[in-house]
Amino acid sequence: MSMKGRGSKYQKRVSFSEDEDEQCWKEENGGVDAHHLKSVSTVSDSSGYNRYNMKSSDTFPHRRMTLPREKGRRQAIRGPAFMFNARGSSLTAEEERFLDAAEYGNIPVVRKMLEESPTLNVNCVDYMGQNGLQLAVGNEHLEVTELLLRRDNLARVGDALLLAISKGYVRIVEALLGHPSFAGGERLTRSPCELQDDDFYSYDEDGTRFSPDITPIILAAHCQKYEVVHMLLMKGARIERPHDYFCKCADCTEKQRKDSFSHSRSRINAYRGLASPAYLSLSSEDPVLTALELSNELVKLANIEKEFKDKKNRNKETSQHNGFFLNDYRKLSMQCKDFVVGVLDLCRDTEEVEAILNGDISTELEEGRHHRSLLSRVKLAIKYEVKKFVAHPNCQQQLLKIWYENLSGLREQTTAVKCLVVLVVALGLPLLAVGYWFAPCSRLGKILRSPFMKFVAHAASFIIFLCLLVFNASDRFEGITTLPNVTVTDYPLQIFRVKTTQFTWTEILIMIWVAGMMWSECKELWTEGPREYVMQLWNVLDFGMLSIFIAAFTARFFAFLQAMKAQKYVDEKIHAPDLSLVTLPPDIKYFTYARDKWLPSDPQLISEGLYAIAVVLSFSRIAYILPANESFGPLQISLGRTVKDIFKFMVLFIMVFLAFMIGMFILYSYYLGAKVNPAFTTVEESFKTLFWSIFGLSEVSSVVLKYDHKFIENIGYVLFGIYNVTMVVVLLNMLIAMINSSYQEIEDDADVEWKFARSKLWLSYFDNGKTLPPPFSIIPSPKSFYLCIKRLINLLRCRRHRLKKDVELGMDNSKSMLNLFTQSSLRMLDSHSFNSILNQPTRYQQIMKRLIKRYVLKAQVDKENDEVNEGELKEIKQDISSLRYELLEEKSQATEELSLLIQQLSDKLNPRPVHPHRANEG
């Protein structure tokens, strides 16, 4: 390989593919033919462009007059390599040789020029704006980089560091971090746009290949360079979390006003670094918790900054920005979730799985809380919908173990045995409730506190409630003998409404069940808080269903009170043998009327309507327990997703429906009684006609008039036809496509979706409490009284203890600082005091450190296996090139030494003869 100067590489070349291009060249250069360039001398002016001077013998007597269009084209042609000929045109031969030596790893030449050339400018740049340090780093010449780093006036060290990080040259990064510029650590945490007071970075618009908001630690995190991230963290580098999107601080306001696009890019670049597995693994004390919280934050940002939100049907290929794949917030959120799943996948025993699922539980266990009631990470994953984490086999195995707690052997039993257990629990539920009331800590109490048994008990209680609803209507299955216009009483002086408003024993049982379920919902609302309670749609359905039941029974009870008031009047005032023989006041007589004469606002009618709605909602509540079964679970999930699609579709549906309903009503509102049928003559008739037309139950004659108004009738035909085409052909088929897409999405990942839904169901029974189902939960057990008294005693004891300490410290008249800490926080401080003094990690931290080590090692191995051999071949070629120059230098030195030895040996063997004249003089 022969060395060539940079001047020889980038010499001016002229070639033309068409005659028109050659003519443009002539017009630009005064008619000079490109083949006569030997007679043209090139002179560089102060602007960096090349001017052509011609010899006097080559001047032309005539010059063409150019048109404005030709002048515009001429301004766009600046000669070969116009985009880059501004830089590097003023390089001396020495600087050209220095840049070549740095680029190709010619260590001897670089060393010699640095030592022997006092006029050498080591910060000179080539036509691309790269100095010698950047060229050496980009070609992985470690020795040349170390030689250049010894110079005091070296510039653009930051650019070289960013380049080394992007290339993954760990040894060069380590050498660069040893430069005195990084001694303080401030340069590692601040971006180039924040360090414009020196020559650490290049700040011109085209002098750097990285975004000005990129710091070394952010770039290392983007590139997944674990070793580099670790080195930078040890140097004190950190990624600063961006402010809230709606932050109105002075800094954010100024950045948003100055350049909103750059501000958004800096935010997403920072989040790309924070969401990097390399940074999550090495920077956080609790990477799992950090990743879960960050994934939820990124989902929120994806919904806010929709321009960076990924679509589900988007192609997997993403655009590139600054040489790296551009990840949006949705993908970054998935990256955090995949990181959590990857850590969970590396667990090797139960202790490690429990540590991942529960978090640091040392404090909670000291407070006496059972580890089953914690599962803080699982609850957080369910809240943030990290489905793969919850559905992971390691997580499911642990949840299944807790599900069958205190029921050893039941999991291995057949389905028939499990069904028999469910039947026994359903039939013996009252006896089991009584046994738990009096012996909650017995073996029976422990069995009933098992999540599986709590689920069976609650499911059995709800099935009994549904059976009561069915039985309450069983007397009307074969029809009724009393018509709406007939009244039947038990005795002549009885008010008819007293008989219809009385509560039966089944309705009283239903009311007791409703009261028990409402009490359970109120306790859950108190425990979780309104915000968390409302976030679960099943809670909203339950509360709505129970509220409608209560409203129905309240209206029924109000109607009963009115009827009893009327009956009391009859019993006190009427002495006739039959009510038909006397004249009653209108307000009393109303309660003797048959159903066909009741007012539409009658409380009993309202009660019956609300009761019917509540019954429908009650049976739909069965879907809550379907995820427990593998066959029905995915169907229930698909049904829930379909309901969401229908609600989305209803927005467009209502818009189109209202448009045609109002239009058809306006068209036919003047023809009331002048149509074949009353369709479209009123708003109500317009609604019914258009609604049932969707299902093909409306007739075409709905638009026909009795009069000869053909124009109105034709308009009606056209509008009615367009409506049917729009609703039936377009919108309904679009709804079917949406439902099919949602079902297919669930079906493609049915196992994960079902396990996630089942885990949500399981987790609702893992917490302490809710052992007895409604209505048995209304009556407080002796255990509840005991716990209430115990909490009251602890509260009084804590207050007495704090008051005693306040008096001892002389703080009885002022606000004590000890009141700032709760009793649990004091216990936490006491429990961690010994470990904090000795600076020893907790057991959870030790397990997490072990798992992160495995994750990092696995990531490095996977990366080594995925790397292409081209990079290794390039590295070998660079090493061979450097070795070649070293061998040539050693050969040159050896040749010189050999020539000197030969000369000395020749002088000794053939001594020079003495001149006779000099001998006579001597």
195: confidence class by pLDDT, cuts 50, 70, 90: low
Distance between CA 312 and CA 519 in Å, rounded? 42
Distance between CA 726 and CA 182 in Å, rounded? 68
Say what the pLDDT of residue 372 is. Answer: 56
List pLDDT tens digits, range 233-279. Answer: 998 889 989 988 888 888 888 888 888 888 888 889 999 999 999 99
Say what the pLDDT of residue 191 is. Answer: 72
Distance between CA 630 and CA 627 in Å, rounded? 7
| Average pLDDT of span 687-715 | 89
Say what the pLDDT of residue 352 is. Answer: 92
Query: Exposed/middle/buried for 408, CB within 10 Å: 0-12, 13-18, 19+?
Result: exposed
- From 548, 544, 546, 567, select the one nearest 556 (Cα to Cα): 548
**Quick check: 399 pLDDT over 90?**
yes
Which residues, at least 6 apart from 412, have a Cβ–Cβ distance to it below 8 Å?
none
- Secondary structure of 528-550 in HEC code, one letter for each residue: HCHHHHHHCHHHHHHHHHHHHHH
**Quick check: 556 pLDDT over 90?**
yes
Amino acid at 430: P
Enter the tokens of residue 39.
């007679």
Q: Of the given ranges (91-95, 284-288, 346-350, 818-822), which has the lowest mean pLDDT?
A: 818-822
Handedness of CA 298, 303, 308, 312 (dihedral sign): positive
State the chain's mean pLDDT as an integer: 79
Amino acid at 92: T
pTM for the model: 0.75
Of 482-486, 665-669, 804-808, where does the model show the most confidence? 665-669
**Quick check: 790 pLDDT over 50?**
yes
Percent of the chain at pLDDT > 70 equals 76
Q: Of the given ranges (223-227, 396-400, 583-587, 794-798), which has the lowest mean pLDDT?
A: 794-798
Distance between CA 135 and CA 141 in Å, rounded? 9
| Average pLDDT of span 727-756 | 88
Distance between CA 813 and CA 810 in Å, rounded? 8
Q: Of the given ranges (180-194, 423-437, 463-477, 905-919), which has the lowest mean pLDDT?
A: 905-919
List pLDDT tens digits, range 39-76. Answer: 444 443 433 334 444 444 444 344 334 444 444 444 44
Q: Contact 79/49 with Cβ under 8 angstroms?
A: yes
202: confidence class by pLDDT, cuts 50, 70, 90: low
**Phi, psi values for residue 326, rounded to 5°:** -85, 110
List pLDDT tens digits, range 638-666. Answer: 888 888 888 888 889 999 999 999 999 99
List pLDDT tens digits, range 487-531. Answer: 777 777 788 888 888 899 999 999 999 999 999 999 889 888 888
Q: Residues 154, 155, 158, 161: what is their CA dihedral angle, to the nearest 10 degrees? A: -50
List pLDDT tens digits, range 309-348. Answer: 655 444 443 444 443 334 588 899 999 999 999 999 999 9
Please list, residue by residue across 550-586, b when 16 or more beta carbons sit within 10 angstroms of its beta carbon and e when fewer do. bbbbebbeebbebbbebbebbeeeeeeeebeeeebee
Distance of alpha carbon 576 from its chain centroid, rounded?
A: 78
Residue 277 CB neighbours (<10 A) = 22
Distance between CA 340 and CA 357 in Å, rounded? 11
Of 116-130, 843-857, 874-888, where does the model show the most confidence? 843-857
219: confidence class by pLDDT, cuts 50, 70, 90: very high
Distance between CA 499 and CA 853 in Å, rounded? 77
